[in-house]
Amino acid sequence: MSKLTMVSTELPEFAEEITTAMFKSFTGQGGRDEYKNVLNKYHHFFDEDFINKLKNISWEYDDSSRENFYIRGYLIGQWYSYHTKDFLDDLTLLEIQPVINNKGKLISLREAQKTNQISFNNELNREIHKYLDEYYNPKATEFYTILNTLSIKLGFNDFIEVADNLRRYKIDNLISEYDRFLEYTDSFFTEEVLKNCSNGHFNLNSIDKLDDFTIERTVSDMNFLIDRMKWSTKGIQVAWVNSRNKTGNSFCVPLKIPGEVILVSDNKQGFQTQRHLYHEFGHGFHFNNVDEGLVYPFRRMGDHAVAEAFSALNESLLFNKHWLKSRGYNSDIAKEAYKYRVYLIRKYWAKLKTEVEFHRTLKFADNGYYTRALLEDDMSLYNLLTLDDEISAAWQLRGWLLHAQLEELIIKKYDENWFEKEEAGSYIKQLFTYGYKFNADEVSELLGEDLLNNKALMHQFNQHS
Ligand SMILES: [Zn+2]
Same domain, 147 and 261: no
* Residue after which a domain boundary falls, among 167, 186, 219: 167
Percent of all residues in the chain with a pLDDT value above 90, rounded to a whole number: 78
Same domain, 142 and 198: no
Our count of domains for the chain comes to 2
Which pLDDT tens digit goes with each residue over 354-387?
A: 999 999 999 877 788 999 999 887 656 667 777 7
Distance of alpha carbon 37 from alpha carbon 46, whole angstroms: 14
Same domain, 162 and 189: no
Calculate mean pLDDT across residues 102-119: 87
Which pLDDT tens digit goes with each residue over 292-328?
A: 999 999 999 999 999 999 999 999 999 999 999 999 9
Same domain, 158 and 180: no
Report CA-CA distances (Å) from 104 to 114, 124, 243, 270.
17, 11, 21, 29
pTM score: 0.95
Distance of alpha carbon 299 from alpha carbon 224, whole angstroms: 27
Same domain, 222 and 303: yes
Nearest-CA neighbor of 348 among 175, 116, 180, 136?
A: 175
pLDDT attached to residue 396? 97
* Residue after which a domain boundary falls, among 120, 145, 167: 167
Q: Cα(403) to centroid of ligand 1, in Å?
A: 12
Between these two residues, 171 and 201, which has the higher pLDDT value?
Answer: 171
- Return residues with CB closer than 5 A to ligand 1 (ion): 311
Residue 124 structural domain: 3-167
Q: Domain of 258: which CATH number?
A: 1.10.1370.30
pLDDT attached to residue 80? 96
pLDDT attached to residue 200? 84
Q: Cα(439) to centroid of ligand 1, in Å?
A: 16
Same domain, 134 and 189: no
Same domain, 134 and 257: no
Residue 276's pLDDT band (cuts 50, 70, 90): very high
Same domain, 135 and 275: no
Q: Cα(399) to centroid of ligand 1, in Å?
A: 9
pLDDT attached to residue 28? 65
Is residue 315 within 8 Å of 275, Cβ to Cβ?
yes
Q: Cα(101) to centroid of ligand 1, in Å?
A: 32
203 secondary structure, DSSP code: P
Same domain, 350 and 378: yes
Q: Cα(271) to centroid of ligand 1, in Å?
A: 17
Nearest-CA neighbor of 366 among 147, 377, 375?
A: 377
Same domain, 288 and 382: yes
* Residue after which a domain boundary falls, among 167, 197, 213: 167
Q: Cα(310) to centroid of ligand 1, in Å?
A: 9
Q: Cα(5) to centroid of ligand 1, in Å?
A: 31
Same domain, 159 and 179: no
Same domain, 137 and 212: no
Q: Mean pLDDT over all residues of the chain?
A: 92
